[in-house]
Chains A and B, each alone.
Chain A
């Protein structure tokens, strides 16, 4: 049987997850040129926020149909609070500092958030089960889609569309574009740049929260380290797609996810590469792809801004 369609769907799902998280990296970078390494942990706290709503707020046995929207809201509340708090107390005081200072702060914040969840969330010292949507998998031709993946499959494009509308059509969205192009001029034109930066952090956190819930539904468990590797992958996706470009983040995520999946599935069949084809090599192939893309398109797949601005 031909496994390519299934592997492409596997890659698309994995990539959508990367993309949802990558948007947060790219938006914050686009506006303040900060690589927010704590963003993976914002994704993680979102998943824990959703779990908290399910375990401690909703009555036992609530149907997932009702629970899921409330869990999403809970995830967003937690993620946005953490992200805006981080912006206000960790990054804003360093706004004028050399670039490396906020970067190191972000790494420190990432570790601190992980350890805080590890230490204070009940049961978080090992993996915690995440509620699942009932119902069997769906079959479309030779492709099987799990029930938990449906959410991701719907949520990723819908959130993308909403974001595109927001950035293109609303006043705040245009303010974001203006701040990204030139913060000083934007300020002179009456854009409240401080507010725009907070909005960028909050929006990124909302997407991370959606990703966190999707991750819990897809894999069935969450843990305090879930954001670390995924955050690095999402950052890679953002660079691949062109950091600063929101569509690039999603496309970079999907390209990275599909590349990893196809590397796992097919590289071993290439004569002479059978030792380099397993999943443990998938990351290597993904990074080789990243290097190749950056060699020929240093601005990333869709990025133009990095070259334009400054």
Chain B
């Protein structure tokens, strides 16, 4: 028999492996890269100069349903601009990168987009946490970024936005409304219209989810509602039974979830299975057909707020919906399709302004000029009037409540939060 030394070595191997395991637990990114996501956007344009519109969104993994809708909608905008020769002498191309919903990957993508001189604007990302990691990279390069989906207020109004609004980055814009409006809007609907008085608040601790849950809770308490309990889930797991049992025993009559549909769906299902037949309410992050798929039949009656008025019902969106269908994309445009199209179109409008001011050519400092022009962009887009306020936020602050009915989201009420 070998001596004692081997025993020690064996134990230390277990120690190394345990450490590896613990480390790997925090590193759960396993999706694969989809770098060849760039698509050719038709060559109907006037030839000459090519301008690339970058896209950064989760194209694989759990959130890909939303991400692919963003990518396709931007692609449609570029194709339309090329076909209609919106900007003389400029052909738009789309370069789509996959961030897998991971801030670190998003930052790498931002660096990559900055390195490509043809990129004059970027649409994306989906997640506020990813947006946070990309802002500085773009701002240093003076490259304009328009997010169709980030709703965390701090991105445009600074971390102390509740006390004093300070815009951190001049190159960052968004067409989506912020959670400073979305959370309270949801609270008003839940308290006044749905008549629920006792809420259990759950979030996933991410920038978006935690921020949204906080603005909801503040307004709900202000209205006189009661918070029966709070919980933070671990987005890497799918067993929420312990939380569901807590919700059931708290006596809450409604659950508010700050987070996204990959967790919200199973969470809703498990809460109902535990015996709490109460609606789960969430923000734009759960407003996806995949939520209904994951939540199953018991998801009927769950609510979500999302940015803007329902695209299907807007007269201004008819053309977009028809064109999207005609283009034959495999994936639906989902919650942010209209906003992504408008974000891309805002970039196209800004490029147009810059080119027109420079005798039909792109200036040398095109990126800085486009960023400057973005501040004053104003046009009638898919989702209504598109323009930005002094923080880079959309001036259109419409929101809509949707409910799950017969296996689909149906709009219930549109409006905005006025304080």
Interface residues of A (CB under 8 A from B): 1, 3, 6-7, 10-11, 13-14, 33, 35, 99-100, 103, 111, 114-115, 118-119, 125-127, 129, 137, 144, 146, 219-221, 223, 225-226, 228-229, 232, 235-236, 239, 243, 260-262, 264-265, 278-283, 287, 290, 298, 306-307, 310
- How far apart sit A49 and B240, CA to CA, in the bound complex (Å)? 25
Q: With A232-B21, A239-B14 known to touch, is A225 a contact of B30 (CB < 8 Å)?
A: yes
Which residue of the partner chain, among B10, B65, B238, contacts A126 with CB atoms under 8 Å? B65
Inter-subunit contact B231/A279 (CB<8 Å): yes
The verdict on A7 contacting B242 (CB below 8 Å), with A232-B25, A235-B21, A310-B1 known, is: yes
Which B residues touch A1, using CB under 8 A? 249
In the bound complex, do residue B17 and residue A278 qualify as a contact, i.e. CB atoms below 8 Å apart?
no
Cross-chain contact A229 with B7 (CB below 8 angstroms): no
Q: Which residues of B contact A127 (CB under 8 A)?
A: 62, 262, 290, 294
List A contacts of B237 (CB < 8 A). 229, 279
Residues of B near A125 (CB, < 8 A) are 60-61, 64
A246 to B312, CA, bound (A): 58
Question: Any chain A CB within 8 A of the CB of B358?
Answer: no
Extra A-B contacts (9), CB below 8 Å, given A7-B242, A127-B290, A220-B294: A3-B249, A14-B239, A100-B13, A115-B32, A118-B32, A221-B266, A280-B234, A282-B242, A283-B234
Question: Bound state CA distance, A146 and B249, in angstroms?
Answer: 17
Q: A129 contacts which of B7, B242, B274, B293 (Cβ < 8 Å)? A: B293
A279 touches B1 (CB 8 A): no
Kindly state the separation between the CA atoms of A7 and B234 in the bound complex, as whole angstroms: 17
- Residues of A within 8 Å of B314, CB to CB, are none
A67 to B21, CA, bound (A): 36
Closest A residue to B246 by beta carbon equals A265
Knowing A3-B249, A10-B242, A235-B21 touch, does A146 contact B293 (C-beta < 8 A)? Answer: no
B residues in contact with A264, CB < 8 Å: 231, 242-243, 246
Residue B273 interfacial (CB < 8 Å): yes
Q: 1/0 per position for B228-260, CB-CB distance to A under 8 A?
A: 001111101111111101101100000000000
Contact, CB under 8 Å: A282 / B234: yes
The majority secondary structure among interface residues of chain A is helix
Q: Once the chains are docked, how many angstroms separate the CA of A194 from the CA of B65?
A: 47
Specify the main secondary structure of chain B where it touches its partner.
helix
Min CB distance, A12 to chain B, in Å?
11
Which residues from chain A contact B294 at a C-beta distance below 8 Å?
Answer: 127, 220-221
Q: Which one, A119, A144, A239, contacts B18 given CB within 8 A?
A: A239
Please count how many residues in chain B sit with their CB below 8 Å of the partner chain's CB atoms. Answer: 53
B162 part of interface (Cβ distance < 8 Å): no
Q: Is the CB of B24 within 8 A of A232?
A: yes
Interchain Cβ contacts under 8 Å between A and B, 9 examples:
A1-B249, A220-B294, A226-B238, A260-B242, A264-B243, A281-B232, A287-B22, A306-B11, A310-B10
Give CA–CA (A83, B145) in the complex, Å: 47
B296 close to A (CB within 8 Å): yes
Q: Provide the residues of chain A in CB contact with B231, threshold 8 Å.
A: 264, 278-279
Is there an interface contact between B242 and A11, defined as CB atoms closer than 8 Å? Answer: yes
Q: Which residues from A are CB-within-8-Å of B44?
A: none
Which residue of the partner chain B has the closest CB to A262? B242
- Complex contact B11–A220 (CB within 8 A): no
CB <8 Å contact, A310 and B6: yes
Q: Are A137 and B273 in contact (CB under 8 A)?
A: yes
In the bound complex, what is the Cα–Cα distance between A14 and B296 (angstroms)?
21
* Distance between Cα atoms of A307 and B204 in the complex (Å): 42
Q: Min CB distance, B20 to chain A, in Å? A: 8
Bound form: Cα–Cα A252–B13 in Å: 20
Question: Are A265 and B245 in contact, CB atoms less than 8 angstroms apart?
Answer: yes
The CA-CA distance from A125 to B238 in the complex, in Å, is 17
Residue of B nearest to A6 (CB): B245
Contact of B25 among A146, A280, A283 (CB under 8 A): A283
CB distance from B374 to the nearest CB of A (A): 34
Query: Across the interface, which residues of B come within 8 angstroms of A260, CB to CB?
Result: 242
Given contacts A118-B32, A229-B25, contact A99 B13 (CB under 8 A): yes
Taken together as a complex, chains A and B put the C-alpha atoms of A3 and B238 apart, in Å, by 21
Asked if B275 is at the interface of the complex by the 8 Å CB criterion, the answer is yes
Q: Please report the C-alpha to C-alpha distance between residue A119 and residue B60 in the assembled complex, in whole angstroms.
A: 11
Please determine whether B239 and A265 come into contact, CB atoms closer than 8 angstroms: no
- Which residues from B are CB-within-8-Å of A6? 245, 274
B48 within 8 Å of A by Cβ? Answer: no
CA distance A310 to B8 in the complex (A): 10
Contacts of B18 on A, CB cut-off 8 Å?
Answer: 236, 239, 290
Cross-chain contact A3 with B245 (CB below 8 angstroms):
yes
Contact A35 B17 (CB under 8 A): yes
| Given A125-B60, A219-B266, A298-B11; A279-B240 close (CB under 8 Å) | yes
User: How many angstroms from the CA of A1 to the CA of B18 in the assembled complex?
Assistant: 39
Contact of B93 with A by CB under 8 A = no
Q: B10, A33: Cβ atoms under 8 Å?
A: yes
Min CB distance B258 to A, Å, is: 13
Contacts of B262 in A (CB 8 A): 127
In the bound complex, CA of A265 to CA of B13 (Å): 34
Q: Is B205 an interface residue (CB 8 A)?
A: yes
Contact residues in B for A281 (Cβ distance below 8 Å): 232
Instruction: Please indicate the chain B residues that have their CB under 8 angstroms from the CB of A126 in the complex.
Output: 61-62, 64-65, 290
Minimum CB distance partner of B232 in chain A: A278
Q: Which 4 pairs, one residue from A and one from B, show the smallest C-beta to C-beta distance?
A: A278-B232, A264-B242, A10-B241, A261-B242
Q: Give the distance in Å from the alpha carbon of A278 to the alpha carbon of B247 in the complex.
A: 12
